[in-house]
Amino acid sequence: MENSENIKGMVRDRYTLIAEQEKELNMASCCGEGGCSGSSSIPDFTVFSDSYENIGGYVPEADLGLGCGLPTEYALIKPGDTVVDLGSGAGNDCFVARAVTGETGKVIGIDFTEAMIEKARINAQKLGYTNVQFRFGDIENMPLTSNVADVVISNCVLNLVPNKPKAFSEIYRVLKPGGHFSVSDVVLTGELPQELAKAATMYAGCISGAMQKSDYLSTIADAGFQDVKIQKEKKIIVPDEILLNFISAVELEEFKKSGTGIYSITVFASKPAISCCGGSCDC
């Protein structure tokens, strides 16, 4: 696995390419910006994504098919809320959230890919939304003041962040006391084959960057959150032709027999109404 900054650069490059092409091209291939013929490809696992077509506020032009859940459906957003979307892409989840918050609310999307920010701002301008804004920034160091959000959402993005404890500590910081988050993400049960686990390209494809499910939930609790619970869980089956770019046929069979599972989960947690110092209640 490459170092943190190299991985961030690779992820940024990948999503820049995706931002510059149409959703249909994304979903016609298992590897967003290219074919699946070589190990240098960065898979775009559209098998993860759920359909938004029957959800209020859905804007097809803003849906690039890159999510692994529907966090807005579980986020308990209310009219007038301030909602922050981490890894907002072309704005899909922001516009769905805006349909609930209404004109009295505010939605802020954060993304560290400039091409995505530009695409999202164009979409918001077309829709005439003045209470939806998009900011360039890193989830590990958000361009937000503390205690600003009622709700934080994210869709298949936190698995791409190298320092996940820092990401959840930032979520804790920007949430108001009593606020909460609902995030969809990819997690593991069991161990990946070594070559798969260390492949930086698979990190950008949401697999090798995924944590063990138990560790993921523990990281959330360690950041100071309470009421941690899984709202939805589904098993992900990655096509053999993708896996065979990284492991041999023999290793693939062993992997299938190992019991290792790749899951999409949507997780809820809340920040205590009376905030403890530093995200820890031991003080």
pLDDT tens digits, residue range 5-38? 776 777 777 777 777 766 555 544 333 334 433 4
Backbone angles phi, psi at 63, to 5 degrees: -100, 110
pLDDT at 39 over 80: no
21 vs 189 pLDDT, higher one: 189
Backbone angles phi, psi at 76, to 5 degrees: 55, 40
Backbone angles phi, psi at 64, to 5 degrees: -100, 5
- Domain 4-273, what fold? Rossmann fold (3.40.50)
143 vs 198 pLDDT, higher one: 143
pLDDT at 278 over 60: no
- The DSSP string of 53-79 is TTSTT--GGG--S--SS-GGGTS---T
Q: What's the mean per-residue pLDDT of the chain?
A: 84
Given pLDDT bands bounded at 50, 70 and 90, which one contains residue 280? very low
For residue 68, what pLDDT is reported? 86
pLDDT at 189 over 80: yes
pLDDT at 177 over 70: yes
Domain residue ranges in the chain: 4-273
d(CA 111, CA 138): 7
Chain length of the chain:
283
